[in-house]
Chains A and B, each alone.
Chain A
Amino acid sequence: MNMNSAEHATTGGLTRSIRLALGVGALALAPIATLATENVPFQPGTSGYLTPKIYAFDYFRGAGSAFGQFLEIYDFQRSMLSGSRRSGLYADVDFGLRIADEDRELLVLERVAHGRYNQRGFLQLNNQYGNAGAYYSNFRTASGSVGYLYNANNVEGALTPAAFFPAETNTNSGYLAQFNDDSQRRRFDVTRLRYGMDLNLDSSITGGLLAAGAAIDGYNRTGHQFNTYVFGGGDVREAVTNAPTPQRALQRWRGFDQDVDESNRRITMYTTLTPRDLGVLDYEFVFERYSVSEQQRIQGDVNQILPPEWQFNADGNPLRPLGFVPDSNLIRHSLRGTRNFGSRVAVAAGYGQSILKQESFTNPQFVSGFDGEISTSNWYVNAAANLRPGMRLSGFVRYNDRDNDSTFPAPGLITTTAVTVRINSLETTRYGLNFNYRLRQMRTTVDLGWERVDTQRDLTYRDPSVNRIAPERSLYDDQTKYDEFSLRLVSRIGKRTTLRLSPSIVSGKSSGNITDPDDEIRLRSILSHVTENGTLINAYYNYSNRTNDTLSWLGTDGIEVFQDYERQNQSAGLNLAFAISPALRANAGIAWLQDFTDAIWFASNRRRYEAPGNPVVFVRRDNSQHDVDTYVLNASLDWQVNERLSTQAAYTFTRTDGTTASGEIYDVLPLVDRDLDTTLHSFQLLGVYGLSDRTSLTGMYRLEYFDDDTFGDLKGGYHSIMAGWRYQF
């Protein structure tokens, strides 16, 4: 059933025009991005390529060789010879192989590498009975290294000695005067190695009745991350005497080098039943095992690091964890069905369940008999009917239920006197209707929609007979309910212009989170135009503004204070794709994105759970605004200089400018945290020179420079040169 034919008439021609404008297939050389075989038109026979290449790279400036580079977050390199992360050489090879007969690609194999820590490959085998495949990818990021640069000891103004000194008696917030970095490592990076394989049997084996398959997917994630924590007020004591002297406050706030060594294995099996004219029925079963092999830290470990005059509380439980990550098993299965009733009505439905079970435990969890388990059940029904040509009515219902089946109460861990609210279950039902009508004469499709979201929460707050966070002192409630009314318009204006306009309004009935929409306006719009000479012009503007002022805190003094939350996002952009000459094509784009949030911040004299036994009052301190603009400019050229030489160049400029807060918050934040003032330049130049029909030389130069005007240590650049020789067969 083609439920989309109405709009196809509106937009189909333009799709072709856009493709032509983008220059698809216009040039003879293989696409340069990855030289991926999947972009090569089908040809029977054996073909492939081999591209040995050598890179020279250099990171310059930045926080120094002992620390990480900002640019290492997204491009981590290492010298093959010296092991240096700063500069060096490495060799690599890309290759692809494709074997095909008249009917299909029998084998496709490809490896694409951009260094030792950014590479991927896949193998695909096909025959008339089905297909099999395998893949891997490897990506390393040093985002933890940059995170480490932001730790309190590395940022001016990130410690507050006045919180403890000179009186040296403030044991409540005195910990803010000193941060204890226990890590010996200055570089933190994590590598994710993904892999998998699958086997799929085609339904032609069973006369079109049944297809089946299985897949194994997994990843290993290894490395180091910088983790922080703060001990409770009495956890660190004087050595030997175990006395809780005021100076203990200075030992509470700490950071350490945490190993990361985890793996995930997922087995998926499915079978798809396609009885003639009865639709499609698909069943899938998934078993997933997540294992953590890293050393699990306990709080008593701190005794090996603390200065001799301090110790972990001898009366405390040193077996309590630090950043514990449990092993877990996930079992999931689902059934989906699709049925078309003639060419007028289609129905799709699905049902799924999952159970997540904790498989490893901390000592306190073991002692308390805690067993972690989360179960979900979900279903949906979608239906659509072509009422008459060009007129369609569709609707859907979707239901998600999450139940927390973990042990509760678990003595010593979580009981009815625990501070936090416990989410016993979370049920969300979404349902809606869409009416789609094509105005043939106006070459316009109009889609009117309504959707309701209804979330019900079963929450357990602390026993009201003791001090607790009561519902009235929480911006979290048991119901979220809102309606969204939308209009989607797709209009062909003239032969070569298409306008897509999607405004919607959201009206809230009740809010469970302050970030839920009480009122919201959204707009998405895009205008595409293709000129007669094939130039593509594409402009978009997106807007959303969400407000919520319905949730409040009630102090023990009877005064209720309301949060007033507003979040606004805008983005606008203009993109051009055009041919300067038949051999020279260009793309250019500019984008502006705005993130704006306005909210009140409230202080309370005590922690909320200290009521009702103690007076807890809330005071409105200030309005604060998070206001950040980002500008992205990108331009690229694709020039076929002559039959042998082609060259491509690209430049991207990203500028971020704004403030993370305003008012009182802004005034007290350290400089590096209050302003965002960054610029990223990225330039690539590539040349391919054909030596013969089968061989070519490839050369590439890359330059990137990150400039942070608020945090000088992050300023730094990277450049590299690549030279490769490609043999094609």
Chain B
Amino acid sequence: MSAFKSSREITTASIVFVFLLAFGLILDGHVFAEVGNDNCMACHQDQSQLKAAHRDCLSCHVGSEEHARAPTRVKPTEVGTQQCMDCHGSDRHFAQFAFSDHAQAGLECTACHGIHEPAFENRDVGLFRTDPSSAQCVSCHQDVRAQFHMTSHHPVIEGGATCVGCHNPHSSASLSLQSRTEQCTDCHQRVRGPYVHEHPAVVEDCSTCHNPHGSPNRSLLVMDEPMLCLTCHSFANNRHGLTGSNALTEAALFQPVPGSAFRQCTSCHAQVHGSAQDQFLRY
């Protein structure tokens, strides 16, 4: 048996259905048209005024219309890297962010950048001279912050250098077009040469000898002289031993070594990064 007893009822039902459908569409369209910053701010007035293009709530909170229709039932959408990249993905600084160390570690843009207000506010007076971006970096990288307090360090805490001066937070080693030594000589041109006589350790990697964040040893050395040098170099008795003898007797081979020869190899081999003249890197 049909649910509708007559064609009149069918016609009436159809009209009501079409009307409801039309009303619904209009209503729905009305909601879509109306959902915007004003609607959002009616409830979220505590959110600060937004920066630049961030003024349009729905450009970042994609799909929040449902939340607007049923604020208590439907949560607003998360803002993730995808939403940021929709606008910033064509920026040269962020285009390859997906392959960055931070992205590989699972961090979103919002881990560092606030979309409503600054994501980080430096309220540690121990970092009062520190560049704000570096203060933000060390708030997570606490082990690096500890290194910046070591006896010898790059002056990041003091504001004389910044983390982003060496590290691109939107990149990674696998995206680099420079060797480690080239990265260092971006600022330390004085030791980039070209040299007639190169020191292989310098050509290979500055961090063979230096810890750029901080070190208990002077000049950011990973360990003090002479051990640093003696891991790669043997000690020639006939120029450094107490007697200067080159004999093969036990007494000569094990002749005393003066502390003056041990304490600072670089006091004589001062051009340790390379020399324009001397193959022994003395001048």
Partners in one complex: yes
Please name 19 further chain A to chain B contacts, defined as beta carbons within 8 Å, in addition to the given A422-B198, A628-B223, A700-B125, sorted by A numbering.
A4-B80, A24-B121, A42-B49, A103-B53, A150-B218, A157-B259, A173-B242, A323-B270, A328-B194, A334-B177, A350-B177, A379-B177, A402-B179, A488-B105, A589-B142, A604-B235, A606-B237, A606-B246, A676-B224
B106 in complex: contacting residue of A426, A475, A490, CB < 8 Å: A490
**Docked-complex contact B119 and A104, CB < 8 angstroms:** no
14 A–B pairs (Cβ distance < 8 Å), ordered by A: A12-B110, A27-B123, A141-B160, A143-B219, A152-B267, A253-B267, A262-B190, A280-B95, A346-B99, A423-B198, A513-B204, A603-B236, A619-B253, A680-B151
- Among listed A57-65, A85-93, A237-245, A664-672, interface-contacting one: A664-672
A676 adjacent to B217 (CB under 8 Å):
yes
Q: How far is the CB of A142 from chain B (nearest CB, A)?
A: 12
List residues of chain B with CB within 8 A of the CB of A74: 155, 157-158, 160
Instruction: Determine the residue in chain A with the shortest Cβ distance to B82.
Output: A2
Contact, CB under 8 Å: A270 / B173: no
Contact A173 B239 (CB under 8 A): yes
Task: Report how far A464 CA is from B201 CA in the complex, Å.
Answer: 24
Question: Given A42-B48, A159-B260, A604-B235, are A624 and B227 neighbors across the interface (CB < 8 Å)?
Answer: yes
Q: Which of A48-56, A308-316, A369-377, A689-697 forms part of the interface with chain B? A: A369-377
Q: Which of B131, B177, B216 has the most CB of A within 10 A?
A: B177
User: Does B132 have its Cβ within 8 Å of any Cβ on chain A?
Assistant: yes
Top 8 A-B residue pairs of the complex, sorted by shortest distance between their CB atoms: A7-B106, A172-B244, A372-B194, A650-B126, A139-B160, A2-B82, A352-B177, A591-B146
Minimum Cβ distance to chain B for residue A253 (Å): 6
Residues of A within 8 A of B256 (CB): 668
Which of B1-9, B10-18, B28-36, B84-92 lines the interface with chain A? B84-92
B231 and A173 within 8 A (CB): no
A208 at the interface (CB under 8 A from B): yes
Among the 9-residue stretches B19-27, B66-74, B271-279, the one with 4 or more Cβ atoms under 8 Å from chain A is B271-279
- How many contacts between A and B, using CB within 8 angstroms? 536
Q: Which residue of B lies closest to A682 (CB)?
A: B126
Judged by a CB distance under 8 angstroms, whether A634 is at the interface is yes
Known: A141-B160, A396-B99. A606 touches B238 (CB 8 A): yes
Is B132 touching A39 in the complex (CB atoms < 8 A)? yes
The interface residues of chain A lying within 8 Å CB-to-CB of B145 are 589, 591, 634
Residues of A within 8 A of B174 (CB): 380, 382, 396, 398, 430, 432
Asked if residues B230 and A624 are in contact (CB atoms below 8 Å), the reply is yes
Q: Known: A378-B178, A423-B198, A668-B257. Is A605-B280 also a contact (CB below 8 A)?
A: no
Interface of chain A residues 23 through 57 with chain B (CB within 8 A): 23-25, 27, 31-34, 36, 38-44
In contact, A1 and B85 (Cβ under 8 angstroms): yes
Report the Cα distance A155→B248, complex, angstroms: 33
Say if the beta carbon of A222 comes within 8 Å of chain B. no
Chain A neighbourhood of B50, CB < 8 A? 42
Contact B238 A605 (CB under 8 A): yes
A686 touches B232 (CB 8 A): no
- In this assembly, does A299 line the interface, its C-beta being within 8 Å of a C-beta of chain B? yes
Please, which residue of chain A has its CB at the minimum distance from the CB of B230? A601
Task: Say yes or no: B107 contacts A272, CB within 8 Å.
Answer: no
Tell me whether B197 is interfacial, beta carbon within 8 Å.
yes
| Inter-chain contacts of B215 with A (CB < 8 A) | 595
**CB pair B232 A12 closer than 8 Å:** no
Question: A199 at interface (Cβ–Cβ under 8 A)?
Answer: no
Interface residues of B in 146-174 (CB under 8 A from A): 146-147, 149-151, 155, 157-161, 173-174
Question: Contact at B111–A15, with CB atoms within 8 Å?
Answer: yes
Residues of B within 8 A of A669 (CB): 259, 262-263
Task: Give every chain A residue within 8 A of B55 (Cβ-Cβ).
Answer: 102-103
Query: Could you say which residues of chain B place their CB within 8 Å of the CB of A151?
Result: 267
The answer to whether A608 and B179 touch across the interface, beta carbons within 8 angstroms, is no
Residues of B close to A661: CB separation below 8 A: 224, 226-227
A25–B121 touching, CB < 8 Å: yes
Indicate if the CB atoms of B208 and A515 lie closer than 8 Å: yes
| Contacts A7-B106, A607-B236 given; does A413 touch B196 at CB 8 Å | yes
Q: Please tell me if the beta carbons of B218 and A5 are within 8 angstroms of each other in the complex.
A: no
**A618 sits at the interface (CB 8 A):** yes
B238: min CB distance to chain A, Å: 5
Which of B110, B125, B194 is close to A356, meaning CB atoms less than 8 Å apart? B194
For A139-178 the 0/1 string (1 means CB < 8 A from B) is 1010100110011100101111011000000111110100
**Distance between Cα atoms of A686 and B154 in the complex (Å):** 25
Query: Residues of B contacting A379 with CB < 8 Å?
Result: 177
Task: Give the complex CA separation of A664 and B262 in angstroms.
Answer: 11
Q: Is A575 an interface residue (CB 8 A)?
A: yes
Q: Which chain A residue lies CB-closest to B86?
A: A2
Q: Looking at chain B's contact residues, is the secondary structure mostly helix, strand, loop, or mixed?
A: loop
Contacts of A665 in B (CB 8 A): 226-227, 230, 257, 262
In the complex, which residue of chain B has the Cβ closest to the Cβ of A661?
B227
A571 to B222, CA, bound (A): 15
Residues on A with C-beta less than 8 A from B244 are 163, 170-174
Interface assignment of B184: CB less than 8 Å from any CB of chain A: no
In angstroms, Cα B240 to Cα A204, docked, is 67
Decide: A595 and B252 in contact? CB cutoff 8 A. Answer: no
CA gap between A593 and B139 in the complex, in Å: 18
Alpha-carbon distance between A22 and B235 when the two chains are bound, in angstroms:
53
Asked whether B123 lies within 8 Å of A32 as measured between CB atoms, the reply is yes
Known: A139-B159, A684-B125. Contact between A365 and B276, CB under 8 A? yes
**B231–A615 CB distance below 8 A:** no
**Residue among B99, B127, B268 making CB contact with A382, cutoff 8 Å:** B99
* Beta-carbon contact of B226 and A621 below 8 Å: no
Cα A542 to Cα B245 with chains together (Å): 46
B258 touches which of A141, A176, A322, A352 (Cβ 8 Å): A176
Q: Find chain A residues with CB under 8 A from B226 CB.
A: 601, 661, 665
Q: Which residues of A contact B117 (CB under 8 A)?
A: 24-25, 41
Contact, CB under 8 Å: B98 / A426: no
User: B139–A22 contact, CB under 8 A?
Assistant: yes
A587 contact from B106, B124, B218, B267, Cβ within 8 A: B124
Chain A min CB distance to B140 (Å): 8
Structural contact, A264 and B189, CB atoms closer than 8 A: yes
- B96 & A434 in contact (Cβ 8 Å cutoff): no
A513-B208 contact, Cβ under 8 Å, with A12-B108, A24-B118, A152-B260: yes
B92, B122, B260: most-surrounded residue (chain A CB, <10 A): B260
Pairwise interchain contact B81-A4, C-beta atoms closer than 8 A? yes
Question: What is the chain A residue whose CB lies nearest that of B229?
Answer: A601
CA of A230 to CA of B261 in the docked complex: distance in angstroms?
12
Q: How far is the CB of A164 from chain B (nearest CB, A)?
A: 9
Q: Mark A484-517, 1 if CB is under 8 A from B, else 0.
A: 0000101000000000100000000000011100
| Pairwise interchain contact B110-A162, C-beta atoms closer than 8 A | no
CB pair A376 B179 closer than 8 Å: yes
Q: How far is the CB of B267 from chain A (nearest CB, A)?
A: 5
Cβ contact of A606, chosen from B132, B147, B236, B270, cutoff 8 A: B236
Given contact pairs A599-B230, A605-B247, A362 touches B80 in the complex (Cβ within 8 A): no
A253-B174 Cα distance, complex, nearest whole Å: 45
Per-position binary interface string of chain A over residues 207-225, scored 1 when its CB falls under 8 Å from any chain B CB and 0 otherwise: 0100100000001010000
Asked whether, in the complex, the Cβ of A378 is within 8 Å of the Cβ of B254, the reply is: no
Tell me if A372 and B193 are in contact (CB < 8 A). yes
Decide if A287 is an interface residue (CB 8 Å cutoff): no
